[in-house]
Amino acid sequence: MSRTTLTPVSYLVLGWIAHSPATPYDLKRRVAESVGHFWEFPHSQLYAEPARLAGLGLLGEEQEQQGRRRRVYSITQAGREALEAWLREPTSEEPQIRDIGLLKLFFSSSLDSESVIALARAQEQSHRDKLSTYEELDRRVPKEAVSAHATLQAGLAFERAFIDFWGEIASRRPSA
């Protein structure tokens, strides 16, 4: 028997479909250009999860008739309630930050400081690039797209924090 509890992916799907009906492929694209910027979800889950949610009565499923077989999902009353209950309930889990660069920094004591600086500079640059991407997106994305806008705000905040962090490492090391 399949899982009956809801996971973050469940709410991701529920949240997007509450916004408007969608096929799994729609979800895949929506996610890629929103939260997917810093939280990746395997597309296979975005196909499997709606089916499961439909089985739980939280989504309605409708086969498109002609052409390629594709399923359009829409939110049910129960689904909307589950989503809103979750939105309102307090969040307990702590955010997870999985950063290979940081992992390397932790173990960099066995490394010469040149290499550490190189690491820090590379990380800083990579975050600067990403910051530009977000700024560019910020110009394009209409203000009324609230969800997308929040993503960008968060993205911008993160990238600036990363840039500061690595920038300081890069500049502080050589003198030490």
**Binding partner selected for residue 20 from DNA, its own copies, none, CB under the kind-specific 5 to 8 Å limit:** none
Binding string, residues 72-101; x marks residues near its own copies by CB under 8 A:
--------x--xx-xxx-xx-xxxxxxxxx
Contact 50, 72 (CB under 8 A): no
Q: Distance between CA atoms of 118 and 112, rounded to whole angstroms?
A: 10
**Binding partner selected for residue 119 from its own copies, DNA, none, CB under the kind-specific 5 to 8 Å limit:** its own copies
Residue type for position 163: I
Q: Which stretch binds its own copies (CB under 8 A): 11-19, 43-51, 62-70, 135-143?
A: 11-19
State phi, psi for 58 to the nearest 5 degrees. Answer: -95, -15
State phi, psi for 55 to the nearest 5 degrees. Answer: -60, -30
**Binding partner selected for residue 66 from its own copies, DNA, none, CB under the kind-specific 5 to 8 Å limit:** DNA
Q: What angle do CA 117, 106, 134 make, to 5 degrees?
A: 65
Asked if 35 touches its own copies (CB under 8 A), the answer is yes
Q: Contacts with its own copies: how many residues (CB under 8 A)?
A: 58
63 burial type by CB count under 10 A (0-12 exposed, 13-18 middle, 19+ buried): exposed
Q: Which residues bind DNA (CB under 7 A)?
A: 2-3, 7, 9, 23-25, 29, 40-45, 47, 66-71
- For residue 95, what are the contacts with CB-CB under 8 A and spacing of at least 6? none
In the DSSP assignment, the letter for residue 109 is: G
**Binding partner selected for residue 71 from DNA, its own copies, none, CB under the kind-specific 5 to 8 Å limit:** DNA
Residue whose structure tokens are 């010469």: 112
Contact positions toward its own copies, by CB under 8 A?
A: 8, 11-12, 15-16, 18-19, 34-35, 38-40, 80, 83-84, 86-88, 90-91, 93-111, 115, 119, 122-123, 126, 130, 146-147, 150-151, 153-154, 157-158, 160-162, 164-165
